[in-house]
Chain A
Amino acid sequence: MSQGDTDEWERLMIAALDGDGRAYADLLGRIAPVLRKVVRARAGSLGNETCEDVVQEILLAVHLKRQSWHRDAPLRPWLYAIARHKATDAFRRWGSRVHLDIDDFSEVLRAPEDNSAIDAHDIDRMIDRLDTRSARIVRAIGIEGQTYTELADNLQMTEGAVRVALHRALSRLASLRERMME
């Protein structure tokens, strides 16, 4: 990972915080394989699907907590701290004591790229627990790539209301996960 790429992450995150969804998707798309590598290196024995669950859980936390990143700080330490925190929780759920060390990130990044993303199912179980409309919004936007305008038409809601509903649904997903852990 070159220094230039590091700066790129900050630039993308700042654009994302200012409302640039494309920059944000780009950034999350770059973060995901890094997380996947680190998680698999530490917890490969749990299987790729479980690892992908953890990756998604971290991404959801990154999203919901993105306001806690300071624009003048480097992104990586923040990101790794989020990843570490969520991964520790997640692994505890399976009764395994796996901890991500900050060093993992620098070591794993030298390993060859493994982009074999697979389906994760935890998140589907959580989406199923949302109310029907929220579940539909999350899936329509995520899986089917529908736009706010299309969804607003289909659901007879205003675009603003769909936006709020998506935001709430994503926050609910995180709290459902918390509750599933207890």
Chain B
Amino acid sequence: MKTEDLIAALAADDRRLMSPGRLFIWLGLLAAVLVLAFFFTVVGLRPDVLHYLFQPLTMPKFIVPLMTGLLALPLTMALSRPEARVHLGLLLLPAGALILAVMAGLLTSAPSDWPRLILGQHAAFCMTMIPLMATPLLAALLIALRRGAGTRPRLEGALAGLCAGALSASLYAWHCPVDSPLYFSTWYTLATLLVTLAGAWLGPRLLRW
């Protein structure tokens, strides 16, 4: 087939597809509705959560994952463009906030209490719910990114995972009954990293073109 013939065939295909960004808006909304419904019916809101939202020691539990997710989202979408130049340095911001939270946790408790505070009592639930609630969002991101033309699928997948995991953790915080920064900075981070790894594994498999 001559190139001009291929061009004729390509030009005849005038089906319009949604851009990755627009597709993500719809799929992301769908995922959000699904996850919020699941959260309020199965996981449950902590009754006194508003009080903890504004305590210096517990505030990072809400803010750090939210900040991570909201920063990772535009980076992820930017990577769906082949010519993208993405600066990951922004992610040092939440990483720094996390370190501050850990230090605050260490300084406000006795060293003998640290193991108990780190392990908490709900780690298994937390480690299940965060990845579980991250799944619809990760799926929405990956489906949208398949429309894109990212040239670094592993990084793209990893960032999608980071975004989904972190946003899921920021929602789980509204349930989480454990208040030590040592707890959430351990388990939220591990759970988010798990989703990040899943994304990094899926990226090269789903986002190649």
Contacts and interface: CB of A to CB of B under 8 A. Distances in A.
Interface residues of A, number: 53
A166 B19 contact: no
B54 interface: no
B13 interface: yes
B97 to A, nearest CB: 31
Given A65-B209, A70-B81, A164-B15, A142 B148 contact: no
Contact of A67 (B5, B9, B18): B18
A15 to B, nearest CB: 11
A43 interface: no
B50 interface: no
A67 B3 contact: no
B6 A22 contact: no
A32 B19 contact: no
Q: Please report whether the interface of chain A is mostly helix, strand, loop or mixed according to DSSP.
A: helix
A61 interface: yes
Interface stretch (A1-9, A23-31, A92-100): A23-31
Nearest to B2: A119
Contacts of B83: 73, 77-78, 80-81
The 7 closest A-B pairs by CB, nearest first: A142-B9, A81-B82, A25-B11, A65-B149, A142-B5, A81-B83, A77-B83
12 contacts: A17-B16, A21-B11, A61-B209, A65-B148, A65-B209, A67-B19, A68-B147, A80-B83, A81-B81, A85-B149, A143-B8, A166-B12
Interface of B: 1-20, 80-83, 147-149, 151, 208-209
Given A68-B20, A139-B1, 5 more contacts: A25-B10, A73-B81, A117-B3, A142-B1, A145-B8
